[in-house]
A and B are shown apart, each in its own frame.
Chain A
Amino acid sequence: MSGLAERISAAKEEGRAALIAYLPVGYPDVDASIAAMVAIVEAGADAIEIGVPYSDPGIDGPVIQEAVDVAVRAGVGMPDVLRAVRAVADAGAVPVVMSYWNPIERYGVDRFAADLAAAGGAGAITPDLIPDEAAGWIAASDREGLDRVFLVAPSSTDARLRSTADASRGFVYVASTMGVTGARDEVSDAAQTLVARTREARPDIALCVGLGVSNGAQAAELAAFADGVIVGSAYVRVMLEGRGADGVRALTEDLAAGVRRAGVSA
């Protein structure tokens, strides 16, 4: 079983959804971002989505873009990301890299897969890479035994839900709303519908929901029907506000309580 699937399954056995937290490497600097990731792990997150800074983050909203712009300008690159991967693995959570495709292609997809596996990474989430274009990554991740997480969206057809889930390993990233990343007051009903549709297309892979989750109450709502809850912009906002490791620890405690409140759907 893959690193991510194993952890999500363990959470399920505890009667809860998994908590996956996103932070980009390099905001406010590499060391501080890694320290924040470790703090999140210590406070109870199951996996860290380790963001590779990118100059043109097309699916991200203003909060994440503001932070990654700083990292891009500072020249943060894959070696820094791999350092974060090792730190998260050492702290006891599952590290999964989140990267737009070009930084991986530029680094070299085979080299990326080998180095990620060597650093203890579980795999990668690729928001602008669809399975149709992913032959190189699918081969490399198979070779290194890495998870590969593709996204589904409310606009995905049933056929694409199936083919995307079939190409995924670890979990499927269920993008809860049509739109960019960023905290929302309400997590759309579309999330529940999409989880149900994806589960019907492919019953045996974990489904984690992201886009818009910012607090424990929302996490509890999602945990009622999803296998995992992904929180990104809310963490980045804490970092942008300068609340650092203490801030992300407090947010994690709220979210970790949330994913335990709802219990797990049948």
Chain B
Amino acid sequence: MTTTSPPQTGELSLPARPGWPDSSGHFGAFGGRFVPEALIAALDELTEAYEAMRVDPAFLAEFARLQRDYTGRPSPVTEVPKFAEHCGGASVLLKREDLNHTGSHKINNVLGQALLTRRIGKQRVIAETGAGQHGVATATAAALMGLSCTVYMGEEDTRRQALNVARMRLLGAEVIPVTTGSRTLKDAINEAFRDWVTNVETTNYVFGTVAGPHPFPAMVRDFQRVIGDEARVQVLEREGRLPDAVLACVGGGSNAIGIFTAFVPDEGVRLVGLEAGGDGVDTDRHAATITGGSPGVLHGARSYLLQDENGQTIESHSISAGLDYPGVGPEHSYLHDIGRAEYRAVTDSEAMEAFALLCRTEGIIPAIESAHALAGAMKLGQELGPDTLLLVNLSGRGDKDVETASRWFGLGDREEVDPGPGLDTDQQPTEGAVSNDEAVAGPEAGEQA
């Protein structure tokens, strides 16, 4: 494996946006604001403050400094030739968001939103978290900037993710287990919105993904696009060409939007989002929102979602808690509808096979979320054949997933560990490895990606 010398970040302007959303937050038919009137003033305040901040040299300098000195940006691009042998001969480059402080791309967004919170003079932040990653990142930024922090998390996840709950508490955050509805990420979001509508005068909501009401989808995209802005330069520098395809996992979709955005104008570059296929999109146990869902309104925006004939949200299922979300950011719905990006489903088994493969071939333990993108690269590489160049966003590291993976591969009690390529990932996972009806969010940390 080789690692490029990455470009320097810190140019004092945010790059031009694509031609969307419009001024009221619409990505074609998607996005907008479907929230109680009580929140409109806060969303307007946030929009106005953010639009001023994003062109303010003092903010941009501070943001660049934090990205460099605190997060460790730019993250490197790593070639993975032994993994690529399983990708039909394609060359595979990984964008290493797993090497960021706190272990995933989530920190990119929370630093921006925490600075914004300070700018609008609020002292408290709230956040939702599926099983930990965005919660930990928010607690981290709150500690750094002296804000008080409350994180809403499904009760089931707080029990299974004792480690991440402890991380957040060590960082000074209050973690509130959510016991309403299905007690999953979507209910954590509902509770966070309820807190916000009640305490909006003192509190800012640090939303974790490119979903939710305007301005969150555009703002979170702006904070995450550094991934693709860096990667595009890095790939050009080392390969002298653009990649044939850029791949990323999609839950809510922030890491995918983050790496896609710089490449959207490059028409020859395929943008491929990998959704969590769970047991399969033809079953009722998956989280493939675009592949298997339909347009509707959830959590403040119109987008694709998993819903029944009455418009009730259907609970999603995935081995990856970070992808286990029945909605998706509106910009993904738009990119899908205009044909600029394509979305495919990867099953739990396929993702875990790719997970094991990267561990064994390259010495990198990926987040299970990111393993969905790796599985997508294995398939796409086979389709496109040799001489193609694939860029995969490795959105997070897999330390948090070790327990889930151990159960999946049945490694727990063995001295001899052999999760290498070719192991039988079709075996029935041991109890607790995959979500069941009571354990929809799965036992692993993660976040809507």
Contacts and interface: CB of A to CB of B under 8 A. Distances in A.
A105 interface: yes
Q: Choose among B32, B190, B193, B312 the residue with the greatest number of A CB atoms under 10 Å from its CB.
A: B312
A154 B311 CA distance: 30
B40 A178 contact: no
B106 to A, nearest CB: 23
A179 interface: yes
A56 B313 contact: yes
A78 B310 contact: yes
Given A54-B312, A106-B310, A155-B200, A128 B180 contact: no
A56 B190 contact: yes
A155 B36 CA distance: 11
Interface in A55-85: 55-59, 61-62, 65, 69, 72, 75-78
A130 B40 contact: yes
B38 A107 contact: no
Contact of B309 (A101, A106, A130): A106
Contacts of B190: 56-58
A106 B36 contact: no
Contacts of B181: 55-56, 65, 69
A175 B311 contact: no
B34 interface: yes
Q: Is the interface of A mostly helix, strand, loop or mixed?
A: loop
Interface in A125-150: 127-130, 132-133, 150
A128 B43 CA distance: 14
Interface of B: 24, 32-42, 180-182, 186-187, 190, 193-194, 197-198, 200-201, 296-300, 302, 307, 309-313
A230 to B, nearest CB: 15
Nearest to A75: B310
A78 B312 CA distance: 12
A59 B37 CA distance: 10
A153 interface: yes
A53 B310 CA distance: 9
B117 to A, nearest CB: 18
A105 B297 contact: yes
Contact of B312 (A55, A151, A175): A55
A154 B33 contact: no
Interface stretch (A42-50, A90-98, A156-164, A251-259): A156-164
Q: Counting chain A CB atoms within 10 Å of each CB, which of B32, B40, B42 scores highest?
A: B40
B34 A129 contact: yes
Contacts of A127: 36
6 contacts: A78-B310, A103-B310, A103-B311, A154-B38, A160-B37, A160-B40
A135 B89 CA distance: 52
Contacts of B186: 56
A157 B194 contact: no
Contact of B296 (A72, A106, A175, A180): A106
Contact of B33 (A53, A130, A153, A164): A130
Contacts of B182: 55
Given A62-B180, A155-B38, A175-B37, 4 more contacts: A103-B311, A132-B24, A151-B38, A155-B37
Contacts of A133: 32-34
B2 to A, nearest CB: 47
A157 B419 CA distance: 60
A164 B34 contact: no
Given A59-B197, A180-B194, A105 B311 contact: yes
Given A101-B297, A107-B311, A156 B34 contact: no
Contact of B198 (A72, A132, A178): A178
Contact of B41 (A54, A76, A107, A156): A156
A188 interface: no
A156 B36 contact: no
Nearest to B199: A178
Interface in A160-177: 160, 164, 175
Contacts of B180: 62, 65, 69
A179 B201 CA distance: 12
Contacts of A132: 24, 32-33
A157 B40 CA distance: 9
Nearest to A79: B310
The list of the 5 closest CB pairs from A to B, nearest first, reads A106-B311, A153-B38, A77-B310, A103-B311, A155-B41
Given A106-B310, A153-B38, A178-B38, A58 B193 contact: yes
A102 interface: yes
A133 B30 CA distance: 11
A103 B309 CA distance: 9
B333 to A, nearest CB: 14
A78 B308 CA distance: 13
